[in-house]
C-alpha cells in the first residue's frame, strides 16, 4: 500500500452534528438524523429504481425517461428513453424559473487590481464589479444565471461556427477564470463532450490527451496568473499542436494581455470570435447516456485513461450528492467555495455540475492559496461571507504549518460547514480544521470518491452523521460499499480489504475512452461482479469506513493522482537515465511525496549528484507538469529485483520512508545485498 493513515483504531472522539449547524439550517437539514439516513439508505439500496427515479424527476427533461436502470455488468444504462441537457439544468432552468438575476458564480482573480484594470480582461467585468474590484484591490466578478446563459450561448454558437457538432470532443486547457466554467457549459449546451486538461500539465501531457480524444478544437488562454507570474498556457498549446495533428482550431481567451503569437487560420481570439455571436442558442436535447465529458486520470499502467461520464446519470448524481453532503438550500444566504481546480474531477462535480442546479452561488478563485499571503482563502471567506468551504487535506496541513495567525486575522463566522476531499485526512489535521477554521461549530464532511465514481460515495451528512476524525463514515444513498477479500466475501469489522461497490450508481464511469479491455481489467476483474475502487480500507464496529490508501501503483500527491509509471517513463526519457523506479513516500504536507530511484547510463554515472537531480526534476516537470517533480531522487547501480525481474517496490518504499530527503548524498547505492535479503518477502 502506498500510504497509510494512523490506524484510527484508538480514535474515540465523536462529533455529533453541532447545535449551531442545526439551528442555522433554516427549515431543517435535508437529512436530520442518523435514523433518517439509515431508513433512506436502506430504501435506496432495496429499491434503487424507485429511489433514483424520484430523484431524476426533480431534473428538467425534454422527454421523460422510460426506464430507470438497465444493468448488464459492467455496463449500466440509466434513465433510458429520456432526453435532457446538462447546461439547461445548470443555467436555463434557473432563468426560466425567474432566477436569472441571481448570482451563479462568484470569481476572485489573482490579486492585482487596479493595475489589472488596464488589461484586456477588464472589459469582461460589469461596471459594478469593476467598481467593487477597484475598491477592494481584488479582481472580483459576479456572474448571474442570465449572464451564463448568454455567454454559454455565444461560445456555443462560436464552436458551431468552427464546425463542432454533437459528439465531438473539445479540449479545454485554461486557468481558473469564469470562462472555463462557461466553456464547460457551452460544450454541454451543444452536446459536444469536453475534455478539461489541468493548466499545470505540460505540453506532452496535452498531446497524449488530445490525440487519445481526437480533439479538433482547443480552448485556452494567453496565460494564467499564478503568484504574480504568467503560466504560459498558449505557448504550451503551441508546443502541443506540433505533436497533435488533429487540432484545427484554437480559441484563445485574453486573460493576461501579454503578447502571444497567433497562427492565422488556426488561432482565434475569444473576444473576436465569441463576442460577435448571437446570445441565444437552444440547448441540444441529449439522450441520457450520451457522453457529457472525458476526464483523463492516472492509472497504474500506461498512459492516463479517459474516464467517460454521461449526461443524465452524472448530472443527476452530482446535483443530488451536492445537495445532501453540503445540505444546500437555494435562495438562502449560502455561499459555497471549493478550492479545487476545474481541471480535476472535484472541480467538474463540485464547482460546476453539482452546484449550479442547486442554485447556490459557487465561488472560484484564480492563483494560489499563499499569494499574495498565506491568508488568501480566509480573506476570500471573509469578503464573500462564505458559508461552505471545501478543500484538501494537503492544503489543511499547509495552513497548519503557516500558522494560526493567518485565519485569526479574519472574520470566519460566516462558515457553517467544512469539507475535505482527495486523500485520507490525518486526525491532527481534522482537529485543527475543526477548531481553528470551524470554530468548533462546523460539521466536517470528509468526502471519499474518485474520478470514476463521478460524485461522493462515502461521506458524512452534516445534519445526520456523527463524525470521527479520519473516517469518511458512511455510504451515500444508493452506494452499496463494502470491504471484501479477493473472492468478494465481506470482511469482519476492522479487517483491511478491498473497497468495492456492489451495485451500479448513476454517476459510475461508463468506460475508458477507446479501451474496453482496460476498463474491465482495472475495475471489474479483481472481484467479479463488483466495482473495485483501487483503495484499501476497513470498516470499524460502527460500520464507519476508513480509507487506508491505494493498492495499485497510483500515488496521491497533494490529493492529485499520479501513476508511478508515468513518472518513470518521463525519467527514462532523459538521456542519462537507463532505468527508473518511482514509489510514494510519506510527506509532511503532500501526504505522499515522490521518491525516484534511477540507474544511469554508462557515460553518465559520473554525473550522479545534485546538478543532475535538479535537471531530472525539471525534466519531469517539462514532460508531465510541476506536480510530478520527484521530491527525492536516489542514484543506484541497479534496481532491486526479484528473480522474475519484478522491481521490489516494497523494499524501495521502506528505504524511501526510512531515509528522508538525503539530497546531499552523491554516491551510487548498491541494492544487491539488501535485495537478496528481502527477495523471499516480495
Q: How far is the CB of 627 from ligand WTA (least distance, A)?
A: 12
Out of 358, 451, 558, 564, the residue judged to bind ligand WTA by CB under 6 A: 451
DSSP count for the chain of H helices, then E strands: 22, 29
Query: What nine digits make up the cell of 101?
Result: 438575476
Closest distance of CB 298 from ligand WTA, Å = 8
Nearer to ligand WTA, 446 or 568 (CB): 446
526-555 residues near ligand WTA, rule: CB under 6 A: 533-535, 547, 550
CB nearer to ligand WTA: pick between 484 and 675: 484
Residue pair 383/335 in contact by the 8 Å Cβ criterion: no
For position 426 contacting ligand WTA by CB under 6 A, the verdict is no
Name every residue whose Cβ is closer than 8 Å to that of residue 259 and which is 6 or more positions away in sequence: none
Enclosing H/E stretch for 400: helix 393-402
Q: Which of 260, 421, 461, 612 binds ligand WTA (CB under 6 A)?
A: 421
SS3 label, residue 65: coil
For the segment 453-512, give every residue that binds ligand WTA (CB under 6 A). 472
Q: Is 352 helix (H, G, I), strand (E, B) or coil?
A: helix
**Shortest Cβ 57–ligand WTA spacing (Å):** 28
Span near ligand WTA by CB under 6 A; candidates 34-42, 118-126, 240-248, 443-451: 443-451
Smallest gap, in angstroms, from Cβ of residue 147 to ligand WTA? 29
What are 385's strand-pairing partners?
Answer: none
Name residues whose C-beta falls within 8 Å of residue 265's C-beta, 6 or more positions apart in sequence: none
Q: Is the peptide bond prior to 599 cis by the omega test (within 30 degrees of 0)?
A: no
> What are the start-end ranges of the H helices in 214-256?
233-241
Collect all residues with Cβ–Cβ distance below 8 Å to 451 and sequence separation of at least 6. 295, 297, 307, 344, 345, 509, 561
Cβ nearer to ligand WTA, comparing 82 with 584: 584
- Maximal CA-CA distance, the chain: 74
Per CB under 6 A, the list member of 313, 361, 424, 460 interacting with ligand WTA is 424
The answer to whether 339 contacts ligand WTA (rule: CB under 6 A) is no
Q: Which is nearer to ligand WTA, 590 or 619 (CB)?
A: 590
Q: Where are the alpha helices (DSSP H) in 47-194?
A: 48-56, 86-87, 93-94, 127-136, 145-161, 178-190
| Residue 55 CB neighbour total at 10 angstroms | 18
67 versus 450: smaller Cβ distance to ligand WTA: 450
In whole angstroms, the minimum distance from the beta carbon of 571 to ligand WTA comes to 22
- Closest CB 5 distance from ligand WTA, rounded Å: 8
Among 192, 345, 633, 655, the residue binding ligand WTA under the rule CB under 6 A is 345
Among 448, 479, 555, 647, binds ligand WTA (CB under 6 A): 448
- Residue 13 CA to residue 246 CA, distance in Å, equals 55
**CB closer to ligand WTA, 284 vs 446:** 446
Q: Least distance to ligand WTA from the beta carbon of 346, Å?
A: 5
For ligand WTA, the closer of residues 125 and 449 by Cβ is 449
Which cell numbers hold the place of 527?
472481484
* Cα–Cα distance for residue pair 573/604, rounded to 1 Å: 14
Site stretch for ligand WTA (CB under 6 A), options 103-111, 263-271, 343-351, 375-383: 343-351
The residue whose grid cell reads 473539445 is 170
d(CA 28, CA 464): 11
| Residue number, 395 or 608, with CB nearest to ligand WTA | 395
- Is residue 356 within 8 A of residue 97, CB to CB? The reply is no
Does residue 447 bind ligand WTA (CB under 6 A)? yes
Task: List binders of ligand WTA among 559-578 (CB under 6 A).
Answer: 561
d(CA 401, CA 477): 36
Q: Is 422 in the site for ligand WTA (CB under 6 A)?
A: yes
- Other CB atoms closer than 10 Å to residue 198's CB: what's the count? 18
* Interface residue with ligand WTA, options 556, 558, 564, 569 (CB under 6 A): 556
User: Which segment (22-30, 420-428, 627-635, 643-651) binds ligand WTA by CB under 6 A?
Assistant: 420-428
Element (H, E) at 206: helix 203-213
Size of the site for ligand WTA (CB under 6 A): 22
Comparing CB distances to ligand WTA, the nearer of 83 and 592 is 592
Which range in 58-66, 361-369, 436-444, 446-454 contacts ligand WTA by CB under 6 A? 446-454
Q: How many residues does the chain have?
A: 682
Query: Rounded to an integer, what distance in angstroms lies between the CA atom of residue 95 and that of residue 195?
Result: 27
With contacts defined by CB under 6 A, name the span among 208-216, 325-333, 422-430, 586-594 that binds ligand WTA.
422-430
Q: How far is CA 369 from CA 226, 300, 501, 625, in A?
A: 10, 30, 35, 19
Stretch that binds ligand WTA, among 166-174, 442-450, 485-493, 586-594 (CB under 6 A): 442-450
CB 390 to ligand WTA: min, Å: 11
Of 159 and 565, CB closest to ligand WTA: 565
User: Residue 38 phi/psi, 5° resolution?
Assistant: -65, -40
Q: Using alpha carbons, list the distances in angstroms from residue 344 to 185, 242, 332, 348.
A: 16, 25, 28, 7
Q: Could you tell me the smallest distance in angstroms from the CB atom of residue 601 to ligand WTA?
A: 35
- Beta carbons within 8 Å of 226's beta carbon, 6+ residues apart: 110, 175, 367, 368, 371
Q: How far is the CB of 207 from ligand WTA (least distance, A)?
A: 21
* Residue 449 engages ligand WTA in binding (rule: CB under 6 A): yes
HSE-up (13 A, CA, CB side) for residue 116 = 28
Instruction: Using only the alpha carbons of the chain, give its radius of gyration.
Output: 24
Stretch of 12-20, 246-254, 445-453, 604-612 contacting ligand WTA, by CB under 6 A: 445-453
Query: At closest approach, how far in Å is the CB of 521 from ligand WTA?
Result: 17
- Tell me which residue has cell 463540485: 350
423 forms part of the interface with ligand WTA (CB under 6 A):
yes
Q: Is 599 an interacting residue with respect to ligand WTA (CB under 6 A)?
A: no
Q: Are 290 and 29 in contact (CB under 8 A)?
A: no
139 vs 547, beta carbon nearer ligand WTA: 547
Q: Which is nearer to ligand WTA, 157 or 297 (CB)?
A: 297
Of 225 and 433, the one with the shorter C-beta distance to ligand WTA is 433
Task: Enumerate residues 278-317 that contact ligand WTA by CB under 6 A.
Answer: 297
With contact defined as beta carbons under 8 Å apart, do 507 and 453 qualify?
yes
Distance of CA 549 to the CA centre of its chain: 17
Q: Which is nearer to ligand WTA, 85 or 473 (CB)?
A: 473
Interface contacts to ligand WTA, rule CB under 6 A: 297, 344-346, 421-424, 446-451, 472, 533-535, 547, 550, 556, 561
Amino acid at each position: 500500500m502506498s500510504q497509510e493513515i494512523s490506524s484510527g483504531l484508538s480514535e474515540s472522539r465523536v462529533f455529533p452534528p453541532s447545535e449551531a449547524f442545526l439551528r442555522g439550517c433554516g427549515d431543517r437539514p435535508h437529512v436530520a438524523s442518523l435514523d433518517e439516513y439509515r431508513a433512506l439508505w436502506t430504501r435506496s439500496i432495496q429499491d434503487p429504481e424507485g429511489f433514483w427515479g424520484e430523484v431524476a424527476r426533480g431534473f428538467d427533461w425534454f422527454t421523460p425517461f422510460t426506464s430507470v436502470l438497465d444493468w448488464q455488468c459492467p455496463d449500466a444504462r440509466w434513465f433510458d428513453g429520456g432526453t435532457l441537457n446538462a447546461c439547461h439544468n445548470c443555467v436555463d432552468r434557473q432563468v426560466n424559473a425567474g432566477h436569472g438575476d441571481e448570482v451563479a458564480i462568484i470569481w476572485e482573480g489573482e490579486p492585482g487590481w487596479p493595475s489589472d484594470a488596464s488589461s484586456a480582461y477588464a472589459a469582461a467585468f460589469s461596471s459594478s464589479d469593476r467598481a467593487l474590484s477597484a475598491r477592494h484591490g481584488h479582481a472580483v466578478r459576479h456572474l448571474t444565471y442570465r449572464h451564463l446563459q448568454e455567454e454559454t450561448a455565444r461560445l456555443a454558437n462560436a464552436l458551431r461556427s468552427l464546425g463542432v457538432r454533437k459528439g465531438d470532443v473539445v479540449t479545454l486547457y485554461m486557468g481558473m477564470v469564469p470562462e472555463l466554467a462557461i466553456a464547460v457549459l457551452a460544450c454541454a449546451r451543444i452536446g459536444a463532450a469536453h475534455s478539461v486538461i489541468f493548466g499545470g500539465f505540460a505540453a506532452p501531457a496535452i498531446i497524449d490527451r488530445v490525440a487519445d480524444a481526437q480533439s479538433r478544437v482547443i480552448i485556452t488562454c494567453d496565460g494564467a496568473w499564478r503568484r504574480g507570474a504568467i503560466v504560459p498556457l498558449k505557448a504550451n498549446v503551441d508546443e502541443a499542436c506540433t505533436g497533435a495533428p488533429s487540432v484545427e482550431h484554437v480559441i484563445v481567451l485574453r486573460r493576461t494581455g501579454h503578447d502571444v503569437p497567433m497562427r492565422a487560420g488556426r488561432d482565434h481570439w475569444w473576444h473576436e470570435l465569441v463576442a460577435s455571436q448571437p446570445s441565444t442558442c437552444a440547448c441540444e436535447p441529449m439522450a441520457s447516456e450520451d457522453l457529457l465529458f472525458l476526464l483523463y486520470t492516472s492509472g497504474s499502467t500506461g498512459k492516463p485513461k479517459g474516464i467517460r461520464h454521461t449526461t443524465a446519470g452524472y448530472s443527476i448524481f452530482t446535483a443530488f450528492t451536492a445537495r445532501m453532503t453540503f445540505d444546500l438550500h437555494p435562495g438562502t444566504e449560502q455561499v459555497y467555495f471549493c478550492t479545487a481546480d476545474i481541471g480535476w474531477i472535484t472541480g467538474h462535480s463540485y464547482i460546476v455540475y453539482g452546484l449550479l442546479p442547486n442554485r447556490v452561488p459557487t465561488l472560484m478563485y484564480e492563483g494560489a492559496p499563499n499569494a499574495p499571503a498565506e491568508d488568501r482563502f480566509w480573506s476570500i471567506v471573509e469578503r464573500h461571507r462564505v458559508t461552505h468551504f471545501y478543500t484538501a487535506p494537503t492544503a489543511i496541513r499547509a495552513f497548519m504549518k503557516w500558522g494560526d495567525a493567518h485565519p485569526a486575522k479574519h472574520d470566519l463566522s460566516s462558515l457553517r460547514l467544512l469539507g475535505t476531499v482527495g486523500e485520507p485526512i490525518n486526525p491532527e489535521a481534522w482537529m485543527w480544521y475543526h477548531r481553528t477554521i470551524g470554530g468548533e461549530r462546523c460539521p466536517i464532511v470528509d468526502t471519499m470518491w474518485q474520478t470514476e465514481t463521478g460524485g461522493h460515495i462515502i461521506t458524512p451528512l452534516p445534519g445526520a452523521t456523527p463524525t470521527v476524525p479520519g473516517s469518511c463514515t458512511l455510504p451515500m444513498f444508493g452506494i452499496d460499499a463494502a470491504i471484501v477479500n479477493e473472492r468478494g466475501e465481506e470482511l469482519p469489522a476492522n479487517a483491511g480489504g478491498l473497497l468495492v461497490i456492489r451495485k451500479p450508481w448513476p454517476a459510475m464511469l461508463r468506460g475508458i475512452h477507446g479501451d474496453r479491455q482496460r476498463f474491465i481489467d482495472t475495475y471489474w476483474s479483481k472481484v467479479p461482479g463488483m466495482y473495485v475502487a483501487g483503495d484499501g480500507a476497513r470498516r470499524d464496529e460502527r460500520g464507519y469506513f476508513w480509507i487506508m490508501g491505494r493498492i495499485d501503483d497510483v500515488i496521491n500527491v497533494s490529493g492529485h493522482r499520479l501513476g508511478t509509471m508515468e513518472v518513470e517513463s518521463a525519467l527514462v526519457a532523459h538521456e542519462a537515465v537507463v532505468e527508473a523506479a518511482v514509489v510514494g513516500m510519506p510527506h509532511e504536507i503532500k501526504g505522499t511525496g515522490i521518491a525516484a530511484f534511477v540507474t544511469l547510463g554508462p557515460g553518465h554515472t559520473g554525473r550522479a549528484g545534485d546538478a543532475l537531480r535538479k535537471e531530472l526534476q525539471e525534466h519531469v516537470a517539462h514532460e508531465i507538469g510541476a506536480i510530478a517533480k520527484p521530491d527525492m531522487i536516489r542514484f543506484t547501480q541497479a534496481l532491486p529485483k526479484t528473480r522474475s525481474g519484478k522491481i521490489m517496490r516494497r523494499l524501495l518504499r521502506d528505504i524511501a520512508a526510512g531515509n528522508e530527503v538525503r539530497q546531499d548524498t552523491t554516491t551510487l547505492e548498491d541494492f544487491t545485498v539488501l535485495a537478496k535479503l528481502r527477495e523471499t518477502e516480495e
